[in-house]
């Protein structure tokens, strides 16, 4: 199972965070309180003439609560536990107290990076799953949910499923969408296994975690939730709700969902039948490497008389293991000239999938 949970470090020249504290005033919320009739002049008429803002008062006794630099470290760490490295770096530059408070998570990111190097053999190191797990566990102990998810994945790949689920559960409880999705999927997979024969997990719990991740915008969870609703895994089968999540996942770039929503449009299951929309989504999935979609799109092109493009997609499907596509392609090739066949094969050789 491939598990995966965001912002470039410099998307624009404008600053989006205050600079590091250098002994100057602390980073605080701005008060819109006017200084009275004879106070300092406000240059912004939109502020001075706004009755909502003019009536807004802050109790001076509570000013310290608007000072973000005074957040307790445990609260700060809980807020930032799901942060990726670019977001963590940005948050660490807000003020000195944040920089100090987020140090454990920055250390966790180093552990996470080392763990991925050992797992995938990057940076000239030999792949070593045990060393990868050791690094992920250090990062998890420092509070990073990203490291918890990777530790859970390694445990799962090692066959130590209970420990894997335990780490997914920790990450899920802290709000990590990848952890929530992986936990939901794993609970569904072990429902009928001997591992939980005495006390099998409730399918409703799995659905609950998939739903949380789906609402957070995690496309893999949206697809898995749609499958559950479509296959009647959970309290009840809800076809319209399943199709809604299929469509959300497809719009989010999940290729399997693109193929699935194309099939739903093709037969009119859960939504109004539309061959035009079915063709659109099928082509999107095919252009991103979905082998069954390539086969289906090839057949569609063949029915429209576009032989060369049909051969290209059928050849791609054949190379991906769709044996039925090879038989159709062979029939079409018999009707094509040698130059046209060569051109189609050249297009297939040079084809590259579009990014999801």
Parse the chain into domains and list their residue ranges. 63-174
Give Cα 344 to chain centroid, integer Å.
Answer: 36
Decide: 348 and 316 in contact? Cβ < 8 Å.
Answer: yes
The pLDDT confidence band at residue 26, using thresholds 50, 70 and 90, is: very low
Mean pLDDT across the stretch 109-118? 96
Residues in the chain: 356
Q: Which CATH class is domain 63-174?
A: mainly alpha
Q: Is the pLDDT of residue 184 over 80?
A: yes
- Looking at residue 346, the DSSP 8-state letter turns out to be H
pLDDT of residue 18: 39
Mean pLDDT across the stretch 325-329? 95
pLDDT of residue 197: 54
The pair of three-digit structure tokens given for residue 39, joined into one six-digit string: 């106070």
The pLDDT confidence band at residue 238, using thresholds 50, 70 and 90, is: confident
**Cβ-count burial of 44 within 10 angstroms (0-12 exposed, 13-18 middle, 19+ buried)?**
exposed
Average pLDDT in the chain: 82
Q: The pTM is what? A: 0.75
Helix (H, G, I), strand (E, B) or coil at 67: strand
Structure confidence by residue, pLDDT tens digits, 156-180: 999 999 999 999 999 999 999 999 9
Q: From CA 142, how far away is CA 329, in angstroms rounded?
A: 56
The pLDDT confidence band at residue 69, using thresholds 50, 70 and 90, is: confident
The pLDDT confidence band at residue 49, using thresholds 50, 70 and 90, is: very low
Q: Is the pLDDT of residue 5 over 90?
A: no
């Amino acid at each position: 199972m491939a598990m995966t949970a965001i912002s470039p470090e410099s998307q624009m020249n404008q600053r989006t965070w205050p600079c590091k504290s250098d002994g100057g005033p602390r980073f605080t919320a701005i008060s819109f309180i006017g200084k009275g009739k004879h106070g300092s002049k406000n240059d912004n008429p939109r502020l001075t003439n706004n009755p909502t803002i003019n009536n807004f008062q802050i109790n001076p006794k509570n000013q310290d609560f608007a000072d973000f630099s005074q957040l307790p470290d445990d609260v700060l760490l809980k807020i930032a536990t799901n942060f990726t490295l670019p977001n963590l770096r940005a948050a660490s530059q807000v003020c000195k107290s944040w920089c100090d408070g987020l140090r454990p998570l920055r250390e966790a990111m180093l552990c996470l990076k080392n763990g991925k190097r050992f797992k995938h053999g990057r940076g000239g190191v030999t792949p070593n799953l045990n060393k990868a797990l050791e690094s992920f566990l250090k990062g998890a102990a420092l509070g990073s949910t990203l490291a918890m998810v990777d530790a859970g994945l390694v445990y799962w790949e090692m066959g130590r499923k209970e420990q894997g689920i335990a780490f997914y559960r920790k990450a899920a409880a802290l709000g990590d969408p990848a952890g929530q999705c992986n936990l939901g999927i794993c609970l569904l997979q072990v429902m009928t296994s001997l591992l939980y024969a005495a006390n099998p997990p409730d399918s409703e719990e799995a659905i609950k975690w998939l739903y949380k991740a789906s609402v957070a915008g995690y496309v893999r969870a949206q697809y898995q939730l749609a499958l559950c609703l479509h296959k009647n895994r959970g309290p009840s089968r809800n076809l319209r709700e399943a199709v809604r999540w299929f469509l959300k996942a497809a719009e989010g770039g999940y290729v399997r969902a693109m193929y699935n929503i194309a099939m739903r449009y093709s037969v009119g299951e859960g939504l109004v039948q539309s061959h035009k929309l079915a063709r659109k989504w099928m082509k999107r999935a095919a252009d991103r490497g979905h082998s069954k979609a390539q086969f289906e799109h090839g057949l569609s092109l063949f029915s429209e008389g576009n032989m060369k493009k049909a051969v290209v997609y059928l050849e791609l499907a054949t190379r991906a293991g769709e044996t039925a596509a090879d038989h159709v392609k062979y029939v079409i090739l018999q009707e094509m000239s040698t130059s046209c066949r060569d051109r189609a094969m050249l297009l297939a050789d040079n084809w590259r999938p579009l990014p999801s």
